[in-house]
Amino acid sequence: MDAAGRLNDPARTVVIERQEPVFRGYFHIDRYVLRHALFAGGMMERPLTRELLERGHAVAVLPYDPVRDAVVLIEQFRIGALGAGLGPWLLEIVAGIIDTGETAEAVAERETLEESGCRVMALEPVARWLSSPGCTSETVALFVGRVDAGAVAGVHGLADEGEDIRPLVVPADDFLAMLDQGRLDNATILIAAQWLALNRAHLRARWLEDTRRATRPG
């Protein structure tokens, strides 16, 4: 049996003895009291208490212009960075929460326009992961979005959500140099940069060929 099969073994039981709300605000926090199956067999004798942050599921997008061979990054204030003692303005990629009834692709297109001013012309799915499974159920679905970075300017974001976002056009070589130099300091942008480093040449060639095909006469 492979590792995935062992991880998904239905014999691994979780018994939730109690679940209760702890906090309701910008985020929700619930407290779980539970017992789970043990690797050595049987169940935990004493229950485990854990708090779980519920904030929905997120989509992230690395806007990439294959013609200019450049990415569009954003800068914005982040309370987590402030609390960690880092500079509170982070260099990030586009991201947003999936609302009820939305697809990840629709959120990718909406958030890219809202945060960078760019319209997505194509989406390349990359990965989906748990952002911090020790404390939250949030997942992140990452895409690379094809954009035209030529008109990037100004400040973006929704005022009623307190957003103040500045987009920046960065040559892909410079972006990947920032990765090599350890200058990217949040997980989403790191994963996006690593994926682009591995797949940039192939993705760029494919998207440029798509453009050539679309512009060929007849």
25 by DSSP, 3-state: which?
Answer: coil
Nearest to 59 by CA among 145, 135, 118: 145
Q: Which position has the token pair 């569009």?
A: 72
Answer whether 188's CB lies under 8 Å from 94's CB: no
Report how far Cα 106 is from the mean position of its chain's Cα atoms: 14
Q: Can 161 be counted among the known catalytic residues?
A: yes
Question: What's the alpha-carbon Rg for the chain, to the nearest Å?
Answer: 21
C-alpha to C-alpha distances, 115 to 61, 72, 162, 168, nearest whole angstrom: 11, 10, 12, 11
Residue 166: phi and psi, rounded to 5, are -110, 120
Answer whether 87's CB lies under 8 Å from 34's CB: no
Set 20, 51, 161, 209: catalytic member: 161
Exposed e or buried b per residue across 115-131, where buried means at least 16 C-beta atoms within 10 angstroms of its C-beta: bbbbebeebbebeeeeb
Q: Which pair of structure tokens corresponds to residue 122? A: 């194509």
Catalytic residues: 161
